[in-house]
Amino acid sequence: MKKIPFKGACVAIVTPFNETGINFTELGRIIDNQIENHTDAICITGTTGEAATMNDAEHRSAIKFAVEHVNGRVPVIAGTGSNDTAYAIELSRYAQEVGANALLLVTPYYNKCTQSGLVAHYNKIADNIDIPAIVYNVPSRTGVNIKPETYAKLAEHPNIVAAKEANGDLTAVLRTRKLCGDKLAIYSGNDDQIVPILSLGGSGVISVLSNVAPYDTHMICQNYFDGNVKEAERLQIEYCDLIDALFCEVNPIPVKVAMRLMGWDTGLLRMPLSEPEPAHVELLEKALKAHNLI
């Protein structure tokens, strides 16, 4: 198998904003709390981090800060994907230069592309970097779905080591595992499918749930890897209600509000994201209380 950047639970970390930009003081506190609670890796500037509303300077500064603040304690995965291949290369090379351990590359959105376009896009990026790349399949957001046969082609590139799979299709994951074998690791991109994907040979999760329950998200994976499958299953099922609450509105609205309720200064939601409906705040409160998180 190719060397992968982490095994276990990686937090898709939120970005706390204030009126002037990124609240780096609070981001540092959140990172430290994650590491103290055994998170296996930090994914900065992903979907949950609201990278889509960051300008270029903010995007770069968030990656650089995360690398420097983590200081080698766990791997740092930088979200550097774009629907502009040239910009994705530029940002990916910057992330490599400042010390990111790996890249998370979302499929091109809006302008989209064909399956052959995906192969060309990802191979072009991978040709221009020397650190591992994780391709990110989230068709509900991008309108593009990576087919198992396309994964098989991508897996031939030495720098494309894994996929974050968030299309919800376990049969497609099964077929991808069959076609790719040890050439491509699979991370769950959905918190409600951690154990199912681990059971198909997955290597972990890139998680929203980890923002509020880092230790137990880590333990879902660790128990599975240690052979304590029943305990991994128990935790997966136990957190079903909180996972549902964290996706009652579009991510990351609920998780940032949940973290506020827990006492974190996650700050503003950047437009076009908006504050959740009052009923959804109540749902989050109920789920957090049920798990003794508030």
What sign does the dihedral 7-213-243-226 (CA atoms) show?
positive
C-alpha angle 93-8-157 in degrees, rounded to nearest 5: 40
Distance CA 230, CA 44 (A): 31
The contacts of residue 59 (CB under 8 Å, 6+ apart) are 45, 51, 91
The residue annotated as part of the active site, out of 64, 153, 164, 256, is 164
Residue tagged active-site, from 122, 136, 151, 239? 136
Q: Where are the beta strands (DSSP E) in 178-243?
A: 185-188, 204-207
- The contacts of residue 112 (CB under 8 Å, 6+ apart) are 83, 142, 143, 144
Active-site annotation holds for 164: yes
Write the CB contacts of 225 (distance below 8 Å, at least 6 apart in sequence): 7, 8, 198
Measured distance CA(101)–CA(104) in Å, rounded: 10
Please calculate the CA angle 232-146-208 and round it to the nearest 5 degrees. Answer: 40
- Residues in CB range of 241: below 8 A, 6 or more apart: 287, 290
Please say if 136 is a catalytic residue.
yes
- Within 8 A by CB and 6+ apart from 190, the residues are 166, 168
Active site residues: 136, 164
